[in-house]
Structures are given as C-alpha cells and as structure tokens.
Amino acid sequence: MKKTVMKMVLAGMVALACVSALSAKPKKTEIDKIKKAGVLKVGCKEDVPGYGYLNPATGKHEGLEIEIAKAVSKKILGKESVKFTGVTAKTRGPLVDTGEIDMVAATFTVTDERRKLWDFSEIYMQDPVAIMVKKSSGIASFKDLDGKTIGVSQAATSQKIFEAAAKEAGITIKFNSYASYPEIKTALDSGRVDAFGVDSSILAGYMEDSVALLPERYAPQQYGIAVKKGNAALLAIINETISEMEKSGEMAKIKAKFNLDK
C-alpha cells in the first residue's frame, strides 16, 4: 500500500514538474511574430506629402514616417523590410487593433483620450493646425469664416479644435468631413466647402497659386507612432529608433529633405 501511495506521489510530482516547465516556456512576443513573418506591417498615409505619400511616378511610399518605419524594420529584422498599408484617420486605429498592421505611422496626433486606446511612441513632430482658403474667396481671417463650412478629415482632432476657436471668436461654422485630404482639396476647389482645415505642414503639400493659408494657428499637434495597447516590446524598439535618429541628426536631415523643418 505504501509503495502504491509513493508511486502516486512521485507521478504527481513528475506531472507538476512538466506543467511547470511548460508554463515557464517564454511566450512569443510581437517582435517574434514580426521576425517570423520577415516583414514589419505599417499603416501609413498615402496622401500627405512630406509624411506619407504614395508617389504615382515611382509607385513607392515616401516621407518622414516612411523613413522612420524603415529604420524600425531594420532594427528588428536587420534589413529594410516593410509592408505599407494606406490608412486614414478613421481606419488606422481599428487596423492596428485587429493585428492587420503592427504599427501606425500616419500623422497620428497623441491625445490623452487616444492614449487610453493605443500606446504611443515618443513625439517626433509637432505641428499646429491651420486653414486653407481660396484667394478669390475674400476670406482673410478666421472670423471671416462665420456661417461658412470647413472641410475636415473623418475622425481627426481638427473639428474639435475649430469648434473651440469658433466659440472663443463668437462665430458659427459648419463642417463637412471627408475620408482623405485630396477629397477635401477637391471640395475646396469646387466650392463645396469654404476652407480646408488640418495641420499646417499637411496643408503645405496642397499649396498652389489659387489658395492661401489664414494667419491663425491653433493647438500644436504632437505626432507619435501607435501600437496595440500593451505591445511594450515593439514600442520600446520604436522609441529607441526615434531616439537614435534624433541624436545622430538623421531625423533633422529627413525633415529638411521633405521640407518639414520650416
């Protein structure tokens, strides 16, 4: 009887040891998954010259955020290996949540509300919000927009900023929202909106002789790269990459290349 009990105790100990060994096996991190895939999946803008732009002449993505993404992939994989997916202000969050992309580098303004949903990198760019109008409109200041319509991007922070500014100025403005910046510019050109409102450096990519920027600037927007909530391993590498690019002067050179240092 004692032998039987002893055998049962030993068997239990062996089973417990096996379970412990299995539970001690390290879990695969997001970095491991990226390495296994051999590619970093990045959500980027394709309609924002200087930041994320799909050049129709070359068929390639270019801009500051494209270069940051390439540097992150090189740090993880030892080479530049990135699969870019075009995103908008409305689609970028859901795509990183579902795992279709690993990170979002897409003029993503960091706010306290958004930090509750995603984890953000160090700030790599700061840019105030501005307003573009047609020169022929006669609109010379923000107050001249009383009763008029501003075109804004869907799910962006711009509308709230302009609403607050309008309240302070004592005027009433209306909004039409669009999925992409080219759509807003087209709406401005055709007269469907009276103004195009977004970050000033984004507007710079749509400047031409027929339009002008109003003198007012509002609420500097801080851009960060977003990852899925809790993805600390990838976030650490992104922050390390940004820090190294800043210290080496590479970030400044890239900003100058794309006219983002004005």
Single pTM value for the model: 0.80
Confidence of residue 89 (pLDDT cuts 50, 70, 90): confident
Task: Check if the beta carbon of residue 65 is closer than 8 Å to that of residue 50.
Answer: no
Question: What average pLDDT does the segment 158-168 reach?
Answer: 95
Angle at 127 between CA 137 and CA 70, to 5 degrees: 120
Q: How many CB atoms lie within 10 A of CB 241?
A: 24
Which token pair is 144?
């001249």
Task: Check if the beta carbon of residue 245 is closer than 8 Å to that of residue 71.
Answer: yes
Out of 1-5, 27-31, 225-229, least confident range: 1-5
pLDDT for res 216: 96
What does the pLDDT look like over 189-244, one tens digit per residue?
999 999 999 999 899 989 999 999 999 999 988 999 999 999 999 999 999 999 99
Which token pair is 69?
């993404």
Task: Check if the beta carbon of residue 129 is closer than 8 Å to that of residue 221.
Answer: yes
Q: Which residues pair with 105 in a beta bridge?
A: 44
CA dist., res. 89 & res. 99, Å (int) = 17
Helices (H), ranges, the chain:
2-24, 30-37, 64-77, 92-97, 112-115, 158-169, 181-190, 200-204, 232-248, 250-257
Question: What average pLDDT does the segment 39-43 reach?
Answer: 98
Summary mean pLDDT of the chain: 90
Confidence of residue 262 (pLDDT cuts 50, 70, 90): low
